[in-house]
Amino acid sequence: MANVAKRVSWSSKGDEQRGGAGGESVPLLNGSPTRAHTPTPTPTQADQTEPPGQSPQANFFLIGRLSNVDLDDDATRDPDSDPPICVAKEIAHNEKLLSLKYESLDYDNSENQLFMEEERKTSKMGFDVLEINRWVVCCFIGIFTGLIACFIDIVIEIVAGIKYKVIKENIDKSTEGGGLSISLVLWAALNAAFVMFGSFMVAFIEPAAAGSGIPQIKCYLNGVKVPHVVRLKTLAVKVFGVLFSVVGGLAVGKEGPMIHSGAVIAAGISQGRTSTLKKDFKIFEYFRRDTEKRDFVSAGAAAGVSAAFGAPVGGVLFSLEEGASFWNQMLTWRIFFASMISTFTLNFVLSAYRGKPGDLSNPGLINFGQFQSEAIQYNWYEIPIFICMGVIGGILGALFNGLNYWLTLFRIRYIHHPCLQVIEATLVGAATATVSFVMIYAMYTYDCQPIAEDPVKYPLQLFCPDGEYNAMATAFFNTPESSVRSLFHDPSGSYNPLTLGLFTLSYFILACWTYGLAVSSGIFIPSLLIGSAWGRLFGIFLSTVTRGSTWADPGKYALMGAAAQLGGIVRMTLSLTVIMVEATGNVTYGLPIMLVLMTAKIIGDFFIEGLYDIHIKLQSVPFLGWEPPGTSHSLTAREVMSYPVTCFKRLEKVGRIVEILSDTSTNHNGFPVVDENEEPEEDNVGRLCGLILRSQLIVLLKHKVFVERANTNLTQRKLQLKDFRDAYPRFPPIQSIHVSQDEQNCTVDLTEFMNPTPYSVPGEASLPRAFRLFRALGLRHLVICNGSNKVIGIVTRKDLARYRLHKGQLEELEMAQT
Amino acid sequence: MANVAKRVSWSSKGDEQRGGAGGESVPLLNGSPTRAHTPTPTPTQADQTEPPGQSPQANFFLIGRLSNVDLDDDATRDPDSDPPICVAKEIAHNEKLLSLKYESLDYDNSENQLFMEEERKTSKMGFDVLEINRWVVCCFIGIFTGLIACFIDIVIEIVAGIKYKVIKENIDKSTEGGGLSISLVLWAALNAAFVMFGSFMVAFIEPAAAGSGIPQIKCYLNGVKVPHVVRLKTLAVKVFGVLFSVVGGLAVGKEGPMIHSGAVIAAGISQGRTSTLKKDFKIFEYFRRDTEKRDFVSAGAAAGVSAAFGAPVGGVLFSLEEGASFWNQMLTWRIFFASMISTFTLNFVLSAYRGKPGDLSNPGLINFGQFQSEAIQYNWYEIPIFICMGVIGGILGALFNGLNYWLTLFRIRYIHHPCLQVIEATLVGAATATVSFVMIYAMYTYDCQPIAEDPVKYPLQLFCPDGEYNAMATAFFNTPESSVRSLFHDPSGSYNPLTLGLFTLSYFILACWTYGLAVSSGIFIPSLLIGSAWGRLFGIFLSTVTRGSTWADPGKYALMGAAAQLGGIVRMTLSLTVIMVEATGNVTYGLPIMLVLMTAKIIGDFFIEGLYDIHIKLQSVPFLGWEPPGTSHSLTAREVMSYPVTCFKRLEKVGRIVEILSDTSTNHNGFPVVDENEEPEEDNVGRLCGLILRSQLIVLLKHKVFVERANTNLTQRKLQLKDFRDAYPRFPPIQSIHVSQDEQNCTVDLTEFMNPTPYSVPGEASLPRAFRLFRALGLRHLVICNGSNKVIGIVTRKDLARYRLHKGQLEELEMAQT
């Protein structure tokens, strides 16, 4: 693991020039000749491959593994860059870097001759069969995602049930006989043990399984190839990890990880093979390319949301909101199908498990219970109140994100060894139990509630009178899902305001501390729980102020609070509204939930970004937004692109290819192919006639598709698309391919393999224009040509992701080999 | 009105070549030199403007106005096209034409210097203000759409109430005293009078208001500029038209027209002016271009769906499914906002109108009533039964569409005079009343039902015993919305199977006859009504077969039947599922509804297309699907493009511009601008350096932005973006601009006004590749260049829409100036 990563020094002059450009007219259009754009421009030209076969420890997505804060800034300083290099030592700089580690997915098909031949050979019937296969794959994605969700739910129910029973018995015994401190130790030790197991798996076996996985899936759907994220091993660690962390009583939910699980299942099924188990079923080979795989991963993520919340439409919208740049009717319909199958499977199995097979009343891992719309209808004058709650949610969410941001930076700096991560997680596990216990204990004189006909699952009597239970224990001594439902539906008066206030405060801190640990965990349920606690408190307050008016139902305000808090933390919009509506099972609350989420987002965005975005930025992922930065019209493709570009000729010497591919200082992934039969020109760059990828070249070299220079008439060894598909997605590194000296003198004809019609734009195109083309078509390389179609540069994801708005000004991120 | 339209003769050879290309390898890649691609290629080069100021009668979208069946095929036959021209005389040929009448919308911004200057001058704050304006506009769209829906609903309720009361009293009187034939005449005359008024407005004032407007909005969102479709006059005629047709008792709904109404409202508000009333509010001028306007129209359509069905999410999905090619998070969120506001407004006003202001229980024009999910839960073994219903729905839907297709062809041929249209509509109105009456009368001995506590609104006793009413009258003597609700929720046994069977049959025929009349009308409710009738029948049958099992609730099967029938007719998928779920107010039915809709679509598509698509095809609209035809990889852009291309130079003579723009035989809309300072080449076409639109040239000519040849140093008169925006969208025709002989010798510098970076692809790009670029970015012109960036052709919407799959083969449509 490279703790000291090499950093490409980078001129900050362009940054300053642009910083002030927002309010000026045409400051850069006519060129700033002194702009030291790319002192060592090559690393930015194309995105870089993660060398395959690297150990899992090299996965930099994981929190705690980033090491770009202790960079040796001066190591590669380029003496030619005239302005002084802006050396960033402060911590905040961390998110102003863009990592060169991440490869892009290629959503654009390489329409080379092999591909076109195959497509032309395929009849209408052949396409129909493919389409049917896609549906079959989506059906299986839904079924397996649903089953995984069932497995998680049932195991947690059983194991957590045993745990709570053991502790309850112990506490009941200690309450009478004394020795509550032993109960505390038992509880803390049990929790810590579970959490330690979970954390150990994540930290040592598969770090990519940490957290909810939603940031990683967001990145993947955005077009960034996050290493290890869709592997079977990750799924296994994720599933068992989430079992241990939920049973371990952490302030986490089991819902977020379902989204990641669904995505892994989708990737696995659609490719018809697993590299973890080294098994290739030789099916669905047509789907072995990024375009198809990403579509299926969208479906998997949607199926995961659907299983988690019983929200099939919300799942579709989640996938679309996060991923699909090009809305395709059939794709969306397939995604919806996978979602429906997933929620149906879960519903069917869980209902059968709970003894009501025909009932189908468990559509998701969490459901918010039945809100009686007649009883707690909202009135139009409540809308301003809801908006106020949105404001509170936005502020609390921003506070949560801010605290978690600093905590994450701390973890990146100091807690990057797996052992330390396990220790921290164990500590949090024990602390959670301790805090819960102390809270429950402290409240026993204040808040005892009679056991009503609506039974609390694990009523802790503690020192309450007989027939009563400790209300704080309902919130703490329970799975978070049940606590949320209690807060939504328990009748008015079930909770003391002090209980709710203390619970909100302590759970807020615990959840904030927990998110980012090396355990599998979701943030949805903790957010909902915090929100419903203060929402209920808000409802009680309103009810007091208005002297017990019938409309101020605390359950309704708990729901709005939950929405506000969740919106303030994750800042999702449309999909979250629909998820909340579907989980509530009631369309009535659509408008207020939307208003609350919108307000929370607006207020929260004023302070800090959403939690997922913070974590994505802290990993320096080149994430592309939906729109180019507002004020980026002042930049042109020419100013943004990387140059000079390494090009190949149609007939290229093997030696040159090997040499360029082996150049670890550049590690380009895409190479424009230029015509060689041109009159010699002043700028010795040919006209664009194609684009070839590193992965394609690797396959060519591996199969020795050469001809000797003398025998250009000899036909090359015929390669087939199958050869490329078999190698996908883990193409061997160039170092593993031996090319003899004789072979180095051969040539290879790239014509058949290159994409003959890569997208290109003129250098004068504005950044927004290049951005839209890039984003809408999911490109990996966009070639920049001059007026006579000669290659002058190349734009990749990083060149576009580098520019972003910061306090109303366009700023340029630095790039680093973190 | 041109009854004999000029048709460009067209070689059918390419057609034949391609027809067989599906199963062959590379038949066309290496060129088919004899292919007579474009005997007179120019009309296809660019889409054609509708000359502004044309009378409304020239609106060819309207059914009954198409006259391409009596074309003079030989008038312009080109003697050079070697193969014999395939002259199509048969009727079915009508849908194998592509009209050259329709212009494209331009979703791609022309990023010329003026635009870029404005963008660069705009600060972050400026963009924020624009964004806020967009939200404000969306808010108003929602409010006004909701209010229009309220207006329609309340007026219909009042007027229809009076009508039914008058008729009921008359029938009640006649039942006792004899003279039922007078009641029939009264009923028929009342209906016919209402329908005649509605039809008169549509036929004579604004034909674009006919039908539901959904095909037109689909086309608009697809990027086709349908004349008159978003005008205020259209809205007025639409709204009053739908009042008359619903009150007139036709088999129509008021829901479909809401979508069109919402779209018009959106277009009006977002442009800040109305050309019908010639009023310009001088606001929102930034939004005066196709890109922004189309976004708002999406929001308006969604708001319409939302108001119609109380389905805000369904509205968003409808807009996205039909329109948005590029999914944008903020846009979607705004659309959702408009939808929410619209349903809230409707809910608020209607609830207040009905005396329960706080209740908010009227989210849409139709709601399906409360399904008690506990009572009629479905079981997994019902799923195959639902799928069977989907099959029935698909077959019945295909039958409906097939009959309506023939009827529409008949109308196109014979009923194109407005007077004839009014007469036909009046006739249908009278016939509907007669059929209803006969049905009710015929059933009086078979199906009398006791008046239960759940009151029927207009119980017709007729010859039933006291305290009972005629069940057939519940279905016929009622607004269709109430009939649907009755069929869903009336307890088992409320309907006799014979009643349901006869009702299905007669309403099926009436609805099929009605759709396509020159009246404002929706097809949603009639479809739901037919479907719920046979669905209920199906439920009764099941109940009988299974000897009255509790699960065979006829209401549930009525709902599934309604979904199946609607799906079989309109073939919408995801959005329709969500609309149905939202209108039901119950998430439980999601999966079965989806399965039913999917089955209905698959089965229906096997026979004939969806109703909207049939009507779009019959109008020969160049509609682009989501994906290029499956087997179109055999075609390249070079084979598809139109050529030669009329290009301009950067400094172009005014005379040449005027001459080319005035050439009515071509009517191009977009012109590549080429560099003139080139060495003379063999092919005398310059290198692409920009693209300018007819509309921009018109503005240049109108403002006389010329310089005399001698004084090239003189600065041209400065034009501003405002000048272009003021002229948008109805640019004057070239004939209205006087250019003197002196001015003709001047030159005009196009550099500042052209789009300097039009999208272009090489000629070797495959059709799917060009298609995806075109569709994803919403282009209007795609320039085809050769390897040295010289213009060799241009691809417009028609060149892409011309190819489609027919029975597994790629076929090429002919083009005509219909």
Which of B348, B377, B805 is nearest residue A360 as measured by Cβ atoms? B377
The shortest C-alpha distance from A749 to chain B (Å) reads 18
The shortest C-alpha distance from B789 to chain A (Å) reads 5
Nearest CA in chain B to A634: B120
Task: List, as ranges, residues 357-396 from A with C-beta within 8 Å of B.
Answer: 358-361, 363, 377-380
Task: List, as ranges, residues 797-816 from B with C-beta within 8 Å of A.
Answer: 805, 808-809
Q: Give per-residue pLDDT as tens, B617-649.
A: 888 888 888 888 877 888 888 888 888 888 888
Q: Of B363, B367, B393, give the one whose Cα is nearest residue B557.
A: B393
Highest mean pLDDT among A276-290, A754-768, A800-814: A754-768
**Contact assignment for B26 to A117 by CB distance below 8 Å:** yes
Task: List, as ranges, residues 612-631 from A with C-beta within 8 Å of B.
Answer: 626-627, 630-631
Chain A contacts of B363, Cβ < 8 Å? 587
Best B305, B320, B325, B633 member to test A by mutation, with max A CBs in 10 Å, is B633
Contact of A154 with chain B, judged by CB distance below 8 Å, is answered with no
B15 Cβ contact partners less than 8 Å away, ≥ 6 residues apart: B86, B811, B812
Give me the residue label for tokens 């371990």.
Answer: A248
**Contact assignment for B332 to A313 by CB distance below 8 Å:** no
How is A328-371 classified by DSSP, letter by letter? -HHHHHHHHHHHHHHHHHHHHHHHHHTT-TTT----SS------
- Of A182-196, A696-710, B425-439, least confident by mean pLDDT is A696-710
Contact of A773 with chain B, judged by CB distance below 8 Å, is answered with yes
The shortest C-alpha distance from B631 to chain A (Å) reads 6
Residue A707 predicted with pLDDT over 90 = no
B624-633 residues labelled b (16+ CB within 10 A) or e (exposed): bbbebbbbbb
β-pairing, B760-762 vs B781-785, is parallel
Contact of B677 with chain A, judged by CB distance below 8 Å, is answered with no
**Contact assignment for B313 to A29 by CB distance below 8 Å:** no
Nearest CA in chain A to B118: A25
Chain A contacts of B789, Cβ < 8 Å? 785, 787-789
Residue at A663: amino acid letter? D
Nearest CA in chain B to A331: B626
Q: What's the distance, CA B267 to chain centroid?
A: 15
Which of B25, B591, B805 is nearest residue A124 as measured by Cβ atoms? B805
Residue A265 predicted with pLDDT over 90 = yes
Which of B117, B329, B675 is nearest residue A787 as measured by Cβ atoms? B675
pLDDT of residue B385: 92
B628 Cβ contact partners less than 8 Å away, ≥ 6 residues apart: B767, B768, B771, B772, B800, B803
Record the tokens describing residue A312, joined without a space: 């099939």
Give me the residue label for tokens 């006579």.
Answer: A788
pLDDT of residue B455: 57
The three-class DSSP label of residue A102 is coil
Percent of chain A with pLDDT over 70: 82
Instruction: Identify each DSSP E strand in A216-280 by its residue range.
Output: 224-225, 273-274, 279-280
Count Cβ atoms within 10 A of the Cβ of residue A467 and give its class: 0-12 exposed, 13-18 middle, 19 or more buried. Answer: exposed
Q: How far apart are CA A675 and CA B331, in angstroms?
A: 42
Percent of chain B with pLDDT over 90: 25
Record the tokens describing residue B90, joined without a space: 């048969």
| Length of chain B measured in residues | 818
Give me the residue label for tokens 């059983």.
Answer: A158
The shortest C-alpha distance from B416 to chain A (Å) reads 35
Contact of A117 with chain B, judged by CB distance below 8 Å, is answered with yes
Contact of B587 with chain A, judged by CB distance below 8 Å, is answered with yes
Contact of B325 with chain A, judged by CB distance below 8 Å, is answered with yes
pLDDT of residue B99: 80
Chain B contacts of A310, Cβ < 8 Å? 587
ipTM for the whole complex: 0.84
Percent of chain A with pLDDT over 90: 25
Chain A contacts of B628, Cβ < 8 Å? none
Contact of B121 with chain A, judged by CB distance below 8 Å, is answered with yes
How many CB contacts within 8 angstroms connect chain A with chain B?
223
Give me the residue label for tokens 């309902």.
Answer: A474
Contact of B333 with chain A, judged by CB distance below 8 Å, is answered with yes
Contact of B406 with chain A, judged by CB distance below 8 Å, is answered with no
β-pairing, A814-816 vs A97-99, is parallel
Q: Decide: A224 and A621 in contact? Cβ < 8 Å.
A: yes
Q: How far apart are CA A748 and CA A691, in angstroms?
A: 15
Q: How far apart are CA B632 and CA B803, in angstroms?
A: 8
Nearest CA in chain B to A807: B124
B129 Cβ contact partners less than 8 Å away, ≥ 6 residues apart: none
Q: Is the peptide bond before A39 cis (omega within 30 degrees of 0)?
A: no
Q: What is the pTM of this model?
A: 0.85
Residue A607 predicted with pLDDT over 90 = yes
Contact of B194 with chain A, judged by CB distance below 8 Å, is answered with no
Contact of B25 with chain A, judged by CB distance below 8 Å, is answered with yes
Contact of A751 with chain B, judged by CB distance below 8 Å, is answered with no
Q: Decide: A50 and A59 in contact? Cβ < 8 Å.
A: no
Task: List, as ranges, residues 448-507 from A with C-beta within 8 Å of B.
Answer: none
**Contact assignment for B594 to A337 by CB distance below 8 Å:** yes
Query: Using alpha carbons only, how large is chain A's radius of gyration in Å?
Result: 28
Chain A contacts of B787, Cβ < 8 Å? 675, 687-689, 789
Provide the mean pLDDT of chain A.
79
Task: Look at phi and psi of residue A515 and say left if phi exceeds 0, alpha if psi is from -120 to 50, else beta.
Answer: beta
Nearest CA in chain A to B675: A787
Give me the residue label for tokens 């023939």.
Answer: B406
Nearest CA in chain A to B317: A317
Q: Decide: A600 and A396 in contact? Cβ < 8 Å.
A: no
Chain A contacts of B314, Cβ < 8 Å? none
Domains, chain B:
133-354 (1.10.3080.10), 380-619 (1.10.3080.10), 637-812 (3.10.580.10)
Nearest CA in chain B to A785: B789
pLDDT of residue B333: 86
Q: What are the phi and psi torsion angles at B571 (to 5°)? A: 60, 30
**Spans of chain B, pLDDT less than 70:** 1-95, 323-327, 357-361, 372-376, 445, 452-457, 548, 677-685, 707-717, 817-818
Which of A332, A573, A776 is nearest residue B333 as measured by Cβ atoms? A573
**Contact assignment for B587 to A363 by CB distance below 8 Å:** yes
The shortest C-alpha distance from B423 to chain A (Å) reads 40
Q: What is the largest CA-CA distance in chain A?
A: 99
Q: Of A633, A668, A672, A634, give the one whose Cα is nearest residue A650.
A: A672
The shortest C-alpha distance from B374 to chain A (Å) reads 9
**Contact assignment for B327 to A325 by CB distance below 8 Å:** yes
Q: How far apart are CA B624 and CA B780, in angstroms?
A: 12
Q: What is the largest CA-CA distance in chain B?
A: 99
Which of A111, A120, A358 is nearest residue B26 as measured by Cβ atoms? A120
**Contact assignment for A633 to B116 by CB distance below 8 Å:** yes
Q: Decide: B209 and B198 in contact? Cβ < 8 Å.
A: no
Q: How far apart are CA A373 and CA B370, in angstroms?
A: 11
If one counts every other C-beta atom within 10 angstroms of the C-beta of residue A295, the result is: 25
How is B500-557 classified by DSSP, letter by letter? HHHHHHHHHHHHHHHTTSSSB-BSHHHHHHHHHHHHHHHHHHHHHHTTS-TT--HHHH
| A286 or A524, which is more confident | A524
Give me the residue label for tokens 């034949």.
Answer: B16
**Contact assignment for A336 to B808 by CB distance below 8 Å:** no
Instruction: Identify each DSSP E strand in B349-455 by its residue range.
Output: 448-450
β-pairing, A760-762 vs A688-693, is unpaired
Q: Give per-residue pLDDT as tens, A113-128.
A: 888 888 888 888 888 8
pLDDT of residue B55: 38
* pLDDT band, very low/low/confident/very high, at A374 (cuts 50, 70, 90): low
Count Cβ atoms within 10 A of the Cβ of residue A464 and give its class: 0-12 exposed, 13-18 middle, 19 or more buried. Answer: buried
Contact of B348 with chain A, judged by CB distance below 8 Å, is answered with yes
**Contact assignment for B23 to A119 by CB distance below 8 Å:** no
Which of B363, B689, B764 is nearest residue A787 as measured by Cβ atoms? B689
The shortest C-alpha distance from B480 to chain A (Å) reads 24
Q: Where are the alpha helices (DSSP H) in B41-179?
A: 42-45, 113-121, 124-177
Best A18, A116, A374 member to test B by mutation, with max B CBs in 10 Å, is A116
Q: Of A220, A301, A304, A318, give the one whose Cα is nearest residue A576.
A: A318
